[in-house]
């Protein structure tokens, strides 16, 4: 696959693997930073969900594995890649689950550069206002975005305080994403507020 966002995929790979280990079958994963699709495909290959031959053809015209994930691929419930939209979609799925009485968590992986989008913060306010504790946001805090260093392009820090000001419970971590993600899940089950896991790398 030529033209991939390599660093973004590398920093996101461990997060995706952690979500796949933590989530239940009825839970949902949304890769809002859809340009990290190669990391998703690699994780699905390791899980035995896609084959080696299909992985080797990723990016080819006849392949379903393109530069952004599309519906029909395992774990992909919505095509993504237009940055800023994933959290809004997660809110909709979480609200529908509440109305239908379904115990379902929605994990949404975002890039830190994606936080430049105003829609993210409108969605964050909506999550908090509806007390959607079944939404768990994950920010891949790798410090870079397409235009360069995130703090040069548009200041993100203090990132935890910003999320907290919108009514979220922030959890920060580095190293093993799974350990911190499980902590975030535990908090979401105890508190009547959404949780954001900020994974620093």
pLDDT at 67: 67
Assess if residue 69 is contained within a domain: no
Q: Distance (Å, rounded) from C-alpha 60 to C-alpha 46?
A: 21
Assess if residue 46 is contained within a domain: no
Residues 6+ apart with CB under 8 A from 91: 123, 126, 127, 130, 132, 135
Residue 111's CATH number: 3.40.50.970
At 106-130, the pLDDT tens digits run: 999 999 999 999 999 999 999 999 9
Closest CA to 94 of 157, 62, 136, 57: 136
- Tokens standing for 153? 């392009």
Assess if residue 143 is contained within a domain: yes
Q: Do 18 and 181 touch, CB atoms closer than 8 A?
A: yes
Assess if residue 61 is contained within a domain: no
Assess if residue 120 is contained within a domain: yes
Assess if residue 108 is contained within a domain: yes
Number of structural domains the chain divides into: 1
Query: Which residue's structure tokens are 């660093």?
Result: 7
H/E/C letters for each residue in 132-160? CCCEEEEEEECCEECCEEHHHHCCCCCHH
Residues of the chain with pLDDT under 50: 1-3
CA end-to-end distance (rounded Å), the chain:
24
pLDDT at 57: 75
Query: Which residue's structure tokens are 């768990």?
Result: 136
Would you tell me how many other CB atoms lie within 10 Å of the CB of residue 57?
Answer: 15
Assess if residue 63 is contained within a domain: no
Q: Distance (Å, rounded) from C-alpha 114 to C-alpha 99?
A: 29
pLDDT at 4: 53
Q: Do 90 and 77 touch, CB atoms closer than 8 A?
A: no
Assess if residue 123 is contained within a domain: yes
Q: Distance (Å, rounded) from C-alpha 131 to C-alpha 129?
A: 5
Domain limits for position 99: 11-33+81-200
- Tokens standing for 66? 């393109």
pLDDT at 1: 44
Strand 148-149 and strand 144-145: the pairing is antiparallel
Q: Do 181 and 121 touch, CB atoms closer than 8 A?
A: no
């Amino acid at each position: 696959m030529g033209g991939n966002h390599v660093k973004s995929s590398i920093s996101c790979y461990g997060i995706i693997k952690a979500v796949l280990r933590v989530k239940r079958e009825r839970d949902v994963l949304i890769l809002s930073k859809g340009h990290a699709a190669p990391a998703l495909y690699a994780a699905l290959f390791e899980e035995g969900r896609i084959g080696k031959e299909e992985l080797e053809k990723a990016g080819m015209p006849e392949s379903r594995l393109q530069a952004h994930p599309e519906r029909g691929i395992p774990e992909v419930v919505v095509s993504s890649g237009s940055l800023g939209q994933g959290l809004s979609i997660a809110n909709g799925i979480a609200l529908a689950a509440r109305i239908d009485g379904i115990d379902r968590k929605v994990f949404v992986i975002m890039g830190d550069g994606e936080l430049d989008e105003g829609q993210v913060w409108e969605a964050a306010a909506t999550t908090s206002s509806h007390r959607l504790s079944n939404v768990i946001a994950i920010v891949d805090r790798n410090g870079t975005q397409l235009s360069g260093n995130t703090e040069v392009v548009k200041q993100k820090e203090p990132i935890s305080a910003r999320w907290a000001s919108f009514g979220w419970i922030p959890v920060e971590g580095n190293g093993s994403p799974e350990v911190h993600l499980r902590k975030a899940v535990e908090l979401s089950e105890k508190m009547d507020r959404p949780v954001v896991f900020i994974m620093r790398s």
